[in-house]
């Protein structure tokens, strides 16, 4: 079944991929040339390294086209390579060069776009004498995104200590950003004057775009404040979600790297930002960005995976969003094992907007709207298909496509639209109806959506089919149907929570199923955090000023929650590696909601590890995990061997004289020392499969752990040994787990191994695909 789903997913995009390939342009296009470790360039200064890259480039560019002999980005600090304009033939020639690991088109990546930290503390079963926002920390977090808006209260440095002496970065200036905009909170800010490669005529030099670190989108400002924003009392979005807004570690420092705009993010620029962050001295990197799951490249053609591998070598963890292409399977991105991949969930706060029909019945919808309507007056109700413009298809009209509605018929009415055409966004439907002078919009969706549309003062609400059906029945059975839409209100202490967001990308990973992805789930729905002031908003009520906060949803918002959690744990355990902290967060994650029942998805089914990884983060619980599974650079190199990369390429990536194991089959990926276990295929007829893990004790020295199982019926799981006894001299032990699927159900089998010593419970999630 799983392979069939994957085949359908690939087949559905085959025509798009074929068209993309067939339309390849012989004209020069932007490429990234990755040359592995920077060890060969350590003795060269920046100019000399760039010169060596130019020499390599000049060896393949024809003499008559030397005017395009230029390098956009040169990488020489943490890894080696460059980006430049190449034809396909030139890229092919370079890829065969002895010093080159991979050459790939420079991709355009997408942005994966308060109460949440308190909710995570409440969900934790651990009770300590301090809270997340009471920790003093000098952790430096690099946020690679759309920049930052430094004047916001979330970035105040009041009470923050001196800038750490190890910081080597800079605060770059631009037309609207001065060095004085940085402070003890925002200690660094970079931007990248990229070339506009898309419009470059052949033979002409590209035009530079000037900029600054200032955020013009809001995405980077929002994510940075989730990680390390200062505590701001009485924060809200025009009265909604009111409370104290704060980051995971308010005393942590932020280094902002503006590598993205509204058009997306150049892969070569992301790679340069990662290199700069490592040279500057960041401790953690947060990237709420990723490629489309349809065109997901392999690990050595993915700029985030390449940069993050070299970050891991230097002991710097990169946390990434899983993507917003759910709920379909095989949509998770950023799936390399050295990345911490984060899915999105809700918090215990719901934002609702009520529809009241003329028959006095009301239905709950979801939205962010500041509707001026009230319950004392109702307006005529119409279905989009019934107020269609001439010569428009019924499908376009009921989906409120641009140009599909008759403005005369629509004016003054509340319009009902369907959402069964994925090519027409909710915002487009809202704009179409609003432009036609309607009084409001009721959008009926197949399922309840997790992400909320912000419609400003235009009355809007979105309902699922359970509420949509009686609304349509009323419309069709009443001579003069009417309705009104009330403004959004907050429902606190909402249950159940968390719920896995419908948009959150799902596993299994399309590159390998032998590493469980996503890794973990964190709050990513209706998150209140800092936002750039939008002075041009025409949707505000009279007298309203631009807000310093905004409410956003996406795995983009979930990612910085995990970044903040890692910074928090590192502040308490400074000697732990980030791999150990990743393990601590994964093995202490919670799988139950605030009703004490299993976490569910928006369809009300129990969530599974391909939706939420090992569970919801518990930052407080991760402080005392008992045991950890430390994944080392050697583990990652072996993973690349098992995956099938050539030993020469793998050696080029690392500074060590590494040899692949003699047996480097793909099925051995499951043996990588990861905090979860995933077996991509287990044949019923081939007997048991055994995987190994090295477990490290970080609790009391003389601890003894006993194992227990939560295994699905028919799957035989054995843990060897059943008892793990540690001493002051024995801190690491070998753990073996065998899986026998002879009597198991075909398909994905989910379960967990529990290791317990009386005070710590280590939760090891496993997924076995029985074929």
Tell how strand 414-418 and strand 379-383 pair up: parallel
233 burial via Cβ count (<10 Å: 0-12, 13-18, 19+)? exposed
Q: Quick check: 384 and 415 in contact, CB under 8 A? A: yes
Q: Are strands 716-720 and 732-740 parallel, antiparallel or unpaired?
A: antiparallel
219 is catalytic: yes
Task: Name the DSSP letter for residue 231.
Answer: P
**Residue 145 falls in the annotated catalytic set:** yes
**Annotated active-site residue in 106, 118, 145, 635:** 145
Among residues 505, 558, 498, the alpha carbon closest in space to that of 529 is found at: 558
**Residue 704: which residues within 8 A CB-CB, separation 6 or more?**
723, 724, 725, 726, 757
Nearest of 468, 433, 430 to residue 448 by alpha carbon: 468
Strands (E), 305-378: 317-321, 339-345, 349-357, 362-366, 368-369
Q: Which phi and psi angles does 725 have, rounded to 5°?
A: -115, 120
β-bridge partners, 255: 142, 188
Report the distance separating Cα 309 and Cα 655, nearest Å. 12
Answer yes or no: 556 catalytic.
yes
Beta bridge partners of 339: 318
- H or E, element range at 15: helix 14-22
C-alpha angle with apex 270: 343 to 534, nearest 5 degrees?
75
CA geometry: angle 416, 417, 420, nearest 5 deg: 150
Residue in 455, 547, 556, 676 annotated catalytic = 556
Q: Which of 53, 73, 112, 219 is catalytic?
A: 219
Q: Which H, E and C letters describe 28-59, residue by residue? A: CEEEEEEEEECHHHCCCCHHHHHHHHHHHHHC
Of the candidates 520, 511, 519, 512, the residue with the CA atom closest to the CA atom of residue 681: 512
What would the two tokens of residue 74 be? 């040169």
CB-side neighbour CA atoms (13 Å) of 88: 7
Contact 690, 678 (CB under 8 A): no
Phi, psi for 103 (deg, rounded to 5): -130, 130
As annotated, the active-site residues are 145, 219, 556
């Amino acid at each position: 079944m799983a392979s069939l789903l994957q085949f359908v997913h690939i087949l559905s995009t085959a025509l798009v991929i074929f068209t993309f390939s067939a339309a390849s342009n012989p004209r020069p296009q932007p490429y990234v040339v990755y040359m592995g470790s920077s060890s060969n360039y350590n003795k060269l200064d920046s100019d000399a390294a760039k010169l060596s890259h130019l020499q390599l480039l000049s060896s393949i560019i024809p003499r008559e086209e030397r005017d395009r002999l230029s390098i956009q980005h040169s990488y020489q600090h943490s890894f080696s390579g460059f980006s430049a304009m190449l034809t396909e033939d030139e890229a092919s020639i370079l890829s065969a060069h002895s010093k080159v690991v991979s050459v790939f088109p420079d991709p355009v990546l997408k942005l994966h776009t308060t109460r949440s930290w308190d909710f995570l503390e409440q969900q934790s079963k651990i009770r300590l004498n301090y809270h997340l926002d009471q920790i003093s920390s000098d952790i430096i977090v690099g946020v690679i995104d759309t920049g930052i808006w430094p004047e916001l209260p979330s970035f105040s440095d009041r009470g923050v200590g001196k800038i750490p002496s190890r910081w080597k970065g800079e605060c770059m200036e631009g037309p609207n950003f001065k060095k004085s905009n940085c402070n003890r909170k925002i200690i660094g800010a970079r931007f990248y004057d990229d070339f506009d490669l898309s419009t470059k005529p052949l033979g002409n030099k590209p035009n530079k775009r000037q900029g600054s670190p200032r955020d013009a989108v809001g995405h980077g400002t929002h994510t940075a404040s989730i990680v390390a924003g200062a505590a701001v009392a009485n924060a809200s979005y025009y009265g909604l979600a009111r409370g104290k807004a704060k980051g995971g570690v308010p005393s942590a420092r932020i280094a902002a790297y503006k590598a993205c705009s509204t058009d997306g993010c150049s892969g070569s620029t992301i790679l340069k930002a990662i290199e700069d962050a490592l040279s500057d001295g960041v401790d953690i990197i947060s990237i709420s960005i990723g490629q489309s799951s349809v065109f997901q490249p392999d690990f050595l053609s993915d700029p985030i995976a390449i940069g993050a591998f070299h970050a891991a070598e230097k002991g710097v963890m990169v946390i990434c969003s899983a993507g917003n292409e759910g709920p379909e399977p095989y949509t998770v991105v950023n799936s390399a094992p050295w990345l911490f991949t984060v899915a999105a969930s809700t918090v215990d706060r719901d934002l609702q907007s009520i529809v009241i029909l003329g028959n006095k019945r009301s239905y709950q919808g979801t939205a962010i709207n500041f509707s001026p309507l009230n319950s004392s007056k109702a307006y005529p109700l119409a279905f989009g298909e019934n107020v269609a413009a001439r010569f428009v298809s019924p499908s376009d009209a009921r989906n409120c496509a641009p140009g599909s509605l008759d403005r005369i018929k629509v004016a003054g009415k509340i319009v009902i639209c369907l959402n069964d055409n994925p090519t027409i966004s909710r915002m487009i439907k809202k704009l179409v109806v609003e432009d036609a002078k309607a009084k409001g919009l009721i959008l009926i969706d197949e399922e309840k959506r997790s992400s909320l549309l912000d419609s400003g003062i235009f009355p809007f609400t979105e309902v699922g089919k359970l509420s949509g059906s009686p609304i349509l029945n009323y419309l069709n059975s009443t001579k003069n149907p009417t309705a009104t839409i009330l403004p959004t209100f907050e429902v606190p202490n909402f249950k159940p929570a968390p719920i896995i967001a419908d948009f959150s990308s799902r596993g299994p990973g399309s590159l390998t199923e032998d590493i469980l992805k996503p890794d973990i789930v964190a709050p990513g729905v209706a998150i209140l955090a800092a936002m750039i002031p939008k002075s041009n908003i025409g949707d505000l009520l009279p007298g309203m000023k631009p807000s310093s906060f905004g409410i956003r949803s996406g795995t983009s918002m979930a990612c910085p929650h995990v970044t903040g959690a890692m910074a928090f744990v590192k502040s308490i355990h400074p000697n732990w590696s980030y791999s150990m902290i990743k393990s601590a967060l994964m093995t202490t994650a919670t799988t139950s909601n605030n009703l004490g029942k299993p976490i569910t998805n928006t369809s009300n089914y129990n969530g599974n590890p391909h939706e939420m990884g090992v569970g919801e983060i518990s930052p407080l619980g991760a402080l005392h995990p008992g045991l950890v599974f430390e994944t080392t650079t050697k583990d990652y190199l072996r993973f690349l061997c098992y995956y099938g990369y050539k030993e020469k390429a793998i050696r080029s990536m690392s500074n060590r004289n590494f040899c692949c194991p003699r047996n480097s089959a793909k099925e051995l990926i499951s043996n990588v020392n990861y905090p979860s276990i995933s077996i991509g295929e287990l044949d019923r007829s081939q007997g048991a499969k055994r995987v190994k893990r090295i477990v490290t004790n970080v609790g009391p020295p003389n601890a003894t752990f006993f194992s227990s199982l939560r295994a699905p019926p028919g799957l035989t799981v054995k843990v060897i040994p059943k008892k793990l006894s540690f001493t002051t001299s024995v801190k690491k032990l070998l753990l073996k787990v065998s899986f026998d699927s002879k009597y198991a159900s075909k398909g994905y089998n989910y379960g967990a191994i529990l290791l317990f010593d009386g005070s710590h419970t280590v939760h090891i999630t496993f997924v076995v695909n029985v074929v």
